[in-house]
Structure 1
Amino acid sequence: MKYIFIGLSLLLAIVRADNECWSQTYALKEYYPCCKDQTQPVYKIESQIKFGKENGVKCTLGPYVPDFVDRERFDDTREEWNAFKIKWDNEIRDNFKQISVFSGDNESMLNFGWYSTEDTKPVIRFGTQEDMSDAKEFTGNVEYYKNLLIGSRKYSIYSNQVTVSGLERNNTYYYQRYIDGKWEKSVKFVTRDPDNFNFIFVGDPQIGGSHGKPNFLDMSKELTNDEATRNDAFNWERTMNKAFELKSNNPPSLLLSAGDQADDEKLQDYLDETQFSALLQPAVLKGIPHAMTVGNHEQYNENFRHHFNTPNSFTEIERSDREVIPGFNYFFRFNNVLVVVLDTNEPSTYDYSHTMKNAVTKYPDTTWRIVMFHHDLFGIGRTHSQGTYIVNKLRPILNPLLAKYKVDLVINGHDHYYSTSHFVSFDGVNYDISEISENKTFNNPKGILYITANCATGSKLNPRNDAKVDYIYHSNQTYTATFGIIDFEKDIEKQVNRITINYYDVESLDVTDGSYIIEKDLDYVREEEPEPECWAEEFGYECCLFSSMVSYVDDKGRYWDFQNGNWCGVTNKPMIINKSKIPYKPNKCWSLERGIQCCPSSIKSTSYINDGVYGVVNENNGIGFRYCGIQLPVISDIEPNNNTPVSQESTCWANDYGYDCCGPEIVKGNYIDNDGIWYQNDSYWCGLVTYNKNDIEIVNDQCWPDNKFKCCSPVNDQCWPGEYECCSPGTKVEYTDEEALWGVENDISIKPLNI
């Protein structure tokens, strides 16, 4: 009877959508009337909905056509879908211990990761027998991550990581995980032919992304977060199963996902974890390694890097002071393919160039180089592709870097709209294109092929941008779930290595784009660009590994960039050059002349370059910020224009915070913090070298600026009563509270300063 009831509900919904004015009860945005004249010309199409106009008012034409994959609409999967709903409630939603089988450093290794609620040594058994009789145990690391509230119960969550090595190609293995005090059932894992294999690639599974879409069973209601996550979880599992069905004769060896695996970006931790549970639950993913990148929806917490055990992670990042570090750039080799994965939510020339350099240094001889990151560098989706973040921030960094390391293929997502570029090359200033076409073989073409994958679950499907661009060869929006396949083949007869790329509709398995065929001769050797000599070493600086922009041009016309808290000489041809004339004042704050303080030493990167080189200091717990000037490099063959001796040595404590110490003309300070006593006016800060009771000046009987602290009251130059002694004159301030200034003597205790 339950099945019949659901069927009747669907029938009523379909009849209502076709014969009644569905848009008057439509759950999204505005309500629209249905056009009285349904035969009139289409005025506009938005998300597949056709609009007309009557008496100047928009009205809908035809039945409702959804812009996402709503599983309730599919009769051919009705039985599976109903069974999945039960499984979702009972087995999947709250199973936060799903295992991740990540790619290892190379094809002979696997990186496992999972959550547990116990602080025990993680162990994986790995062997060739299903009964695990020949298994070897591999142990790893465990760390406490967070507390997670499930219902009314709070769980301690631990992140576990184990690396397994010694895998050989064309072999069958089994593995087991030890968790909750017992060994799980063994899982089969098969390695494939290293000369004939394939990868699945997808964009934005974004499980949960259909939340807020109209409920097909009742158009006046929206899908809840849980309903949407369940819907998209089923579609994700179906996408994976259909990919394996398509390649049943030669099953995939690796899954590449270009970010936004989960949808939640509102810091709803439980919801976000249900979406990761959905991501990892398909059975086929237990038998294939995957590699994923951080999407913009995953940048707000650290769930990504605690679920996934990424190989060769670049952890010495430029912005290590970030409150949240969701994941790292990393790389691995798989057979004759080098894969580099970048996080494009926090653009850093330093991080990207070091990751790329590390990758090609460790694996210089792979035939193919693939780079994957979330934001579509050469896409054509309406939502993001032409935005200033991509065009003005990411392209100047990534275009020359990808060209320098002769990348073959870039896989992106982000826009939920599919596109394939021509081959895009870069000369250091501008990009150029070499035309591509389907079903034609290109031997070692000039330039990079960029593919922007569509949404793998169909949870969000967006339209095309109207911009006229020359780099797009093909684009489409099928309004279905989709995936891509890259076939790698070593053709001995023709003496070439070949990749063939196709893109597929999940339900029909029809090709929606492709084939794109690229070949390289078996004896192909990539000619790397030689590293230029480092002229900056003459002045005691390193040269930038790579720079996308020039932050400073010195008086001799040399190019400098500021990376990871240090100046470095630019030796490559940069895309952006800051030619502003900045007063050359080594060890002095040039920006004070413009009313802006200089940056403390904790600032590692530039944030703004116009009339100078600026960083950003966060204030009010990251809610606000202010610009600060980055001090210039000390260059011995340039005369300073402030009559200050050029020296990199300084005994001034304020230099550690990007400031100078006060000259002899300033004898009293008017501001104090935990670092020391300062003198401040509207455009200048300096630190007092020593402290004593006369160093603080009370202005107009008021305390220091902003009344940040109470002022101390000297009592006949005596120490006030209390359990602490007073410090000797000249003791450095170590701590300030509302009662006093405090210092330390003989490393014994904190004592109030007698001022």
Structure 2
Amino acid sequence: MCPFHIHKNKKIIASYVAAVLCMASVGVFAATEHWNDASLTPQVMTRTSISDQTDWQQWKDNWDKVKTDYEQVSMAPGADATRMNFGWYSKERADKAEVRISTDKNMSHAKTFKGISKEGTVISGVTYYTNKVEIKDLKPETTYWYQVKVNGKWQASQPIKTGNPNDFTFMYVGDPQIGASAGQTPSEGAAAQDGEIAARNDSYNWNKTLNTALTQHPEINFLVSPGDQINEPAGDQKADKIQLQEYQYAGYLSAAALRSLPEATSIGNHDSLTSGYQNHFNVPNPFTEEANPTKAGHGYYYTYGNALFIVINANNYNAADHQTLIEKAINAHPDTKWRIVVMHQDIYGSGLDHSDSDGILLRTQLTPIYDANKIDVVLQGHDHTYARTYQLSSDGKNHADFDTFKVKGQSGQAHNLLSAALKNKDFKNNYVSQNLCYTIADMQQGVLRNPKGVFYMSSNSATGSKFYNLIPQQQDYIAARSQTWRPTYSVVRITGDTFTINTYDVATGSPIDESYSIVKN
């Protein structure tokens, strides 16, 4: 492997460029042999008991039912903390999709909200309809019960507790990517897993991660995912690929915790090539003005208390779209103290596969946009490694925008989008040097008070369906990184003046890094 390190000292740019070109010459990287084998759960997880093996057997016995349960409900944060969004499939199309809510489990005095029902997709020859409803007027720190009407019948009531907008916590996970363990060989079998068995394995681990995290941190109010909920892109629209994709969505949504946990998801590159994502998830304030959307849908924004969350569709490489969305969200909510961007591709990560190829394609364009709009935090995925940066700022200079790649969405979901162009020496030299577009604004650790710059975070896999290696030598913008080959999740707490993030090993509940806090007063 070629050593690699980023420096801003122009005297050593030549050696930096040579290092990156050496790295690029290695070729396309891939997932490692490390993954989280569900059949080994009792052996690899420390907080387990004999019941884990029973749970795994029950999961396998139930899988045929789980994988075809396409009509499971997804729940998302609404436009603000007083609202919540619901989405689900149904075999029957209703005149109006319906959800009702009450403070009583028996649904007395329930209030009914109506939305839309329209044709969604065809699975195994059956047409499924997509249904979306927004509920309003929720009060903080209150337990509600809701029911969703599916195929003309009210489903069992489910509880949901609203948080305190002035002091709330969310769970941040990386790339669940249900089905990505395809090709790995489980301990209980001699053959490599096919796509369906991989979906079964990864869905089980997704359930375990959510259940464990909520047991360890019951204060969590909602979930944030930077994308790649599933693995099968199904871009060719072949029936068997669409069916496998829907197996994976069914496995992802099967997690019992999601019945009471709203999820703010993003479009990952594996989600981006079909309408499956936007059929399943009902996001608030969708940015339908996006000039170069993907088939999966659009970016969006929402507020929770004093925080503005802006979720961009980074599979669209036209940064002008993202700038417009960010400015629109801020104009709608100019006085929120915290501005948080969520995106899939990591423009500042440390994984071997993406952090210096397709991951940084938008770096030269987005870095100054984030600075100009006073973004505080950017939460990223894609790299299947853990990394957090120092506080970073744009260097204030003009840089190439790689106009050639401003195409309609990502050109296929493959990770080696730049591989053809990077074979050209002149392009590689320019690409590498132009991405020296940042400065390190603050290197302090622990608790930072009114720091300059933007904090970037990349999350590892929350399921262990796929892991990547770290880049051989740590970049200078990275404050901390790790690859433990174990699923992790982060817990973010936001109060009136403090943003704090901690990241934990799923199995042990132990922190994998020190706490990082930003105080604004």
Counterparts in 2 of 1:286-685, with a 5 A limit? 286-319=259-292, 325-387=295-357, 389-391=358-360, 393-429=361-397, 430-436=437-443, 438=445, 440-467=446-473, 469-490=475-496, 497-521=497-521
Q: 2:98·2:149 contact (CA, 8 Å) conserved in 1?
A: yes
Runs of 4+ off more than 3 Å: 46-49, 434-438
The equivalent residue for 2:68 is 94
- In the TM superposition, what is the alpha-carbon distance from 1:342 to its structure 2 partner? 0.6
Q: Distance in 2 between matches of 1:454 and 1:515?
A: 16
The equivalent residue for 1:191 is 162
Residues 40-70 of structure 1, C-alpha deviation per residue, up to 9 Å, x if partnerless?
A: xxxxxx9999xxxxxxxxxxxxxxxx50000
SS in 1 for 2:310: strand
The structure 2 residue matched to 1:74, chosen from 29, 35, 41, is: 41
Q: 1:422·1:471 contact (CA, 8 Å) conserved in 2?
A: yes
Q: 1:437·1:516 contact (CA, 8 Å) conserved in 2?
A: no
The structure 2 residue matched to 1:246, chosen from 210, 216, 241, is: 216
- In the TM superposition, what is the alpha-carbon distance from 1:155 to its structure 2 partner? 1.1
Q: Distance in 2 between matches of 1:73 and 1:437?
A: 40
Gaps of 5+ in 1: 1-45, 50-65, 491-496, 522-755
- In the TM superposition, what is the alpha-carbon distance from 1:468 to its structure 2 partner? 5.2
The equivalent residue for 1:658 is none
Q: Which amino acid aligns with 1:238?
A: K
The structure 1 residue matched to 2:132, chosen from 134, 153, 161, is: 161
Q: Distance in 1 between matches of 2:487 and 2:472?
A: 23
Q: Cα 1:317–1:192, aligned 2, differ >3 Å: closer, same or farther? A: closer
Q: Distance in 1 between matches of 2:208 and 2:40?
A: 15
Q: 2:81·2:165 contact (CA, 8 Å) conserved in 1?
A: no
Q: Distance in 2 between matches of 1:73 and 1:315?
A: 44
SS in 2 for 1:160: strand
Normalized per residue, the structure richer in helix is: 2
SS in 1 for 2:492: strand
Residue 83 (structure 1) aligned with residue 54 (structure 2): no
- In the TM superposition, what is the alpha-carbon distance from 1:233 to its structure 2 partner? 0.3
Paired residues, number? 440
Q: Which amino acid aligns with 1:304?
A: Y
SS in 1 for 2:512: strand
Residue 133 (structure 1) aligned with residue 108 (structure 2): yes
- In the TM superposition, what is the alpha-carbon distance from 1:181 to its structure 2 partner? 2.2
Q: Distance in 2 between matches of 1:481 and 1:229?
A: 16
- In the TM superposition, what is the alpha-carbon distance from 1:161 to its structure 2 partner? 0.6
The equivalent residue for 2:204 is 234
Residues 374-412 of structure 1, C-alpha deviation per residue, up to 9 Å, x if partnerless?
A: 00110010001101x333x30122111111111111111
Q: 1:204·1:414 contact (CA, 8 Å) conserved in 2?
A: yes
Q: Which amino acid aligns with 1:261?
A: Q
Normalized per residue, the structure richer in strand is: 1
Q: Distance in 1 between matches of 2:472 and 2:79?
A: 42
Q: What root-mean-square deviation, in Å, do the aligned CA atoms of Structure 1 and Structure 2 show? A: 1.7
The equivalent residue for 1:623 is none
Q: 1:144·1:157 contact (CA, 8 Å) conserved in 2?
A: yes
SS in 1 for 2:383: coil
The equivalent residue for 2:194 is 224
Residues 418-439 of structure 1, C-alpha deviation per residue, up to 9 Å, x if partnerless?
A: 101111111432311134455x
SS in 2 for 1:339: strand
The structure 2 residue matched to 1:177, chosen from 148, 156, 161, is: 148
Q: Cα 1:94–1:218, aligned 2, differ >3 Å: closer, same or farther? A: closer
- In the TM superposition, what is the alpha-carbon distance from 1:216 to its structure 2 partner? 1.6
The structure 1 residue matched to 2:92, chosen from 106, 115, 118, is: 118
The equivalent residue for 1:145 is 120
SS in 2 for 1:298: coil
SS in 2 for 1:384: coil
Q: 1:501·1:514 contact (CA, 8 Å) conserved in 2?
A: no
Q: Which amino acid aligns with 2:93?
A: D
Q: 1:488·1:498 contact (CA, 8 Å) conserved in 2?
A: yes
SS in 2 for 1:514: coil
SS in 2 for 1:142: strand
Q: 1:130·1:174 contact (CA, 8 Å) conserved in 2?
A: yes
- In the TM superposition, what is the alpha-carbon distance from 1:193 to its structure 2 partner? 2.1
- In the TM superposition, what is the alpha-carbon distance from 1:300 to its structure 2 partner? 1.4
The equivalent residue for 1:105 is 79
Q: Cα 1:47–1:158, aligned 2, differ >3 Å: closer, same or farther? A: closer
Q: Percent identity?
A: 34
SS in 1 for 2:495: strand
Q: Which amino acid aligns with 2:381?
A: G
Of structures 1 and 2, the larger Rg is shown by 1
SS in 2 for 1:79: helix
Q: 2:292·2:321 contact (CA, 8 Å) conserved in 1?
A: no
Q: 1:314·1:351 contact (CA, 8 Å) conserved in 2?
A: no
Q: Distance in 1 between matches of 2:507 and 2:30?
A: 20
Q: Distance in 2 between matches of 1:145 and 1:210?
A: 28
Residues 539-589 of structure 1, C-alpha deviation per residue, up to 9 Å, x if partnerless?
A: xxxxxxxxxxxxxxxxxxxxxxxxxxxxxxxxxxxxxxxxxxxxxxxxxxx
Q: Which amino acid aligns with 1:390?
A: G
The structure 1 residue matched to 2:256, chosen from 274, 283, 286, is: 283
- In the TM superposition, what is the alpha-carbon distance from 1:142 to its structure 2 partner? 1.1
SS in 2 for 1:513: coil
Residues 613-661 of structure 1, C-alpha deviation per residue, up to 9 Å, x if partnerless?
A: xxxxxxxxxxxxxxxxxxxxxxxxxxxxxxxxxxxxxxxxxxxxxxxxx
When normalised by structure 1's length, the TM-score is: 0.57
Q: 1:433·1:471 contact (CA, 8 Å) conserved in 2?
A: yes
- In the TM superposition, what is the alpha-carbon distance from 1:188 to its structure 2 partner? 0.7
SS in 2 for 1:511: coil
